[in-house]
Amino acid sequence: MPPYLLGLRLGGRRVLVVGGGRVAQRRVPALLDAGAEVVLVSPSVTATLEGLAERGRITWHRRGYRRGDCAGAWLVQAVTDDAKVNGDVVAEADAARIWSVRADDAESSPAWTPASGHAGDATVGVLLGGDPRRAAGIRDAVVEGLRDGALESRHSRSKPAGVALVGGGPGDPGLITVRGRQLLAMADVVVADRLAPGGLLDELAADVEVIDAAKIPYGRTVTQDRINEYLVEHARRGRFVVRLKGGDPFVFGRGGEEALYCARHGVPVTVVPGITSAVAVPSAAGIPVTHRGVAQEFHVVSAHVPPGHPDSTVDWESLARAHGTIVLLMAVERMALIAAALMRYGRSSGTPVAVVQDGTLPGQRALTATLGTVADEMAAGDVRPPAIVVVGDVVNVAREIDMIRADLGRDP
């Protein structure tokens, strides 16, 4: 006979978990997320569960199960590796008319825990005759379909009001956050940057209006004032607007300006952080921006104006004296001036430098140089925006990784 599915609202209710191993470690966090007051009975527990007990998140009785432990519980989980103990726990719970789950024997378990997952405000639970692996596979497929919009029309969703500032990540469409993709699938209007992952726009429904807000270096551009106006104009018409940006909206993305403009005009804003290219692009090229014993700090700099320019707020002298990694954005056309300033203020001309163009995209390419040669190397390599420049000894870590891989790949 098929089981009857029920969503338990466990906020403030006592749940007994008997056993402190891997199964308990998986189930306890979900119970806590549901608001349950978890009581754990086990002579020993995993390090993660011990940490929860130390922080007061759960009550841990450091002993074996005793008859009477089920008293006052609304739900019982028998998850020890001892079949007899699990049987005794379930028998006591049954006698007290308390629902219980037995992890080691599905047929003897009065209740089953579904393979569950979340997509926005939807909770998915799958039961498949006590087969947890197949249930988890179906769960994953359903959740993924809900998250990317394949299983739900955007018109059937409860969409946010106003504007969402969504960080699209460093370029690869697969690196947008789950929440960002969900909101994009709900949009009535998308205002897209040049560096936003363009492949995502092709997935939009045909009636979604896409506004090109590209700012091409030294070329065509849409002013920031006009972009701000687009957001408010469409939101005031009752349309849900997604402002899709490359990277993170609040890391050199003018997201703060857009949020302020919307706030001044009474338009609500949802901010969805994105993976900033300042960290993601070096990582994609195998360069860690920090590395133990090499760099314990890194500085992210917008180089849209060069050192010495009246509009520059960057303290280049302090940067040159610091020992951390420097990550430069928008530096392609000004690299000669930047390198000269860093060397003038004390950075060695031999400091390793890496330049990564089109990071995370199929056309990604990188070159390595030194501070003294990087401007010439970039010119010779015809490097064009968008490109990230990494200055510091962490570049040598990437070189070492490449050398080790090359050595392992050689025939003995």
| Residues annotated catalytic, as ranges | 193, 215
Distance of alpha carbon 301 from alpha carbon 282, whole angstroms: 14
* Paired strand residues for 291: 295
User: Which helix H or strand E contains 98, and what residues bound it?
Assistant: none
Do residues 261 and 211 lie in contact, with contact meaning Cβ atoms separated by under 8 Å?
Answer: no
* Paired strand residues for 388: 329, 356
The two three-digit tokens of residue 407, written as one number = 């050595």
Q: Phi first, then psi: what are they for 61, rounded to 5°?
A: -95, 110
Handedness of CA 260, 262, 266, 269 (dihedral sign): negative
DSSP string, 149-169: TTTS-GGGS-PPSSEEEEE-B
Closest by CA position to 359, among listed 396, 384, 324 = 384
Please report, for residues 115, 138, 162, 206, 293, the alpha-carbon distance to residue 153 in angstroms, rounded to integers and kept in the order given.
Answer: 24, 20, 19, 13, 51
Closest by CA position to 164, among listed 138, 186, 136 = 186
Q: Which amino acid is at 292?
A: R
What dihedral angle (degrees, nearest 10) is formed by the CA atoms of 213, 218, 220, 226? 50
Is residue 181 helix, strand or coil? Answer: helix
